[in-house]
Amino acid sequence: MIHDFEYFAPKTLKEALALLDKYQDDCKVICGGQSLLVLMRQGLVAPPYMIDIKGISELSYIKDEKDGLKIGAITTHRAIEKSAVIKKKYPLLAKMETRLASIQTRNWGTIGGNVCHGDPAGDPAAVFIALGATFTMTGSKGKRSMPAEDFSLDYFETALEPGELLTEISVPPVPPKTGSAYYKFNVIESDLATASVAATVTLGAGDVCKDIRLALGASAPIPLRPKKAEAILKGKKITDALLKQAGEAAVKEAEPISDIYASEEYRRELIKVLVPRMTREAMDKAKKA
């Protein structure tokens, strides 16, 4: 049963920020509502005030600029999936979207809403971490930005302060000799991940791993960047033995839970297998890039 709330539908960012300032912790922001309404129906979230930002058209855009890709926070999943420029320059992002929930959910749900929901099993967060994305938040006092991996603090908790709105996600241009891969393991196509792994590898001279970014989904209270696993591979020529070590290191950094979908042990096994597999796939793509 959804509780009653007072509803506002601002048309501009300025109006939305004024409302957020006024209602602070008593309000909740809704856009597509594809995650929020599920929680509200279960009575887990019952805000007295609701600010609907779906109509703020200035926050819906995909721009391909010199310093990278800029995505407005209320851009729908479907718009990202179908964007010609994203398919061409950031194919992993488009591919991730095609496996996110269902078409109906992607038509109405938004990229910003997904990451602000703060579910560590969400697909976009892991991919954004692997792509080195930056999230920009706007409040009435101004803007601030942070790396995607710092945005989540705990299960369903983000770095957003009361009065702030996530407004833009930017993805840097892909460096030369770089490849990315993402895999989500789940049983039913439109489900959330049981566990997922994203990887980006940049190769240098002699195919040495110049840079690497890994991200684990549904493996910890937040979408996790396993830095110890990355350190095993960075600066070295990637071998099967090193990949195995990196997988084992990532398992140690992860803190997966047991639930109806999988036990903690099963999730750890998935991470152990998927970290080497995705790193190898990213490396193979980097060689061809």
Partner 1 sequence: MKKELKFKVNGQPYDIFVKPKTLLSEVLRDELGLTGTKRGCNSSSCGACTVMLNGMSVKSCSVLAIQANGAEVVTVEGLAKGNKLSPLQRAFLDHGSYQCGFCTPGMLMSSTALLTENPKPTKEEIREGIDGNICRCTGYNSIIRAVTAVVKGEYKEAK
Residues that bind partner 1 (CB under 8 A): 2-7, 9, 30, 33-34, 37-38, 40-41, 50, 52, 54, 78, 98, 101-105, 107-108, 189-190
Diameter over CA atoms, the chain: 62
Q: Report in angstroms how near the CB of residue 5 gets to partner 1 at its nearest.
A: 6
Distance CA 98, CA 106 (A): 9
Supply the minimum distance, in Å, between the C-beta of residue 27 and partner 1.
Answer: 13
Of the pair 64, 191, the CB lying nearest partner 1 is at: 191
**Total residue length of the chain:** 289
Smallest gap, in angstroms, from Cβ of residue 1 to partner 1?
Answer: 9
Of the pair 38, 231, the CB lying nearest partner 1 is at 38
Smallest distance from partner 1 to CB 184, Å: 15
**Which is closer to partner 1, CB of 3 or CB of 14?**
3
When the beta carbons of 28 and 272 are compared against partner 1, the nearer one is: 28
What is the CA 20 to chain-centroid distance, rounded? 24
Q: Is the CB of 15 or the CB of 255 nearer to partner 1?
A: 15
User: 41: which 2 tokens?
Assistant: 């129906």
Q: How far apart are CA 167 and CA 230, in angstroms?
A: 30
Strands (DSSP E) found in the chain: 6-8, 27-30, 49-52, 62-65, 68-72, 134-139, 142-147, 152-154, 157-158, 165-171, 178-185, 195-203, 209-217
Give the nearest distance from C-beta 257 to partner 1 in angstroms.
Answer: 21
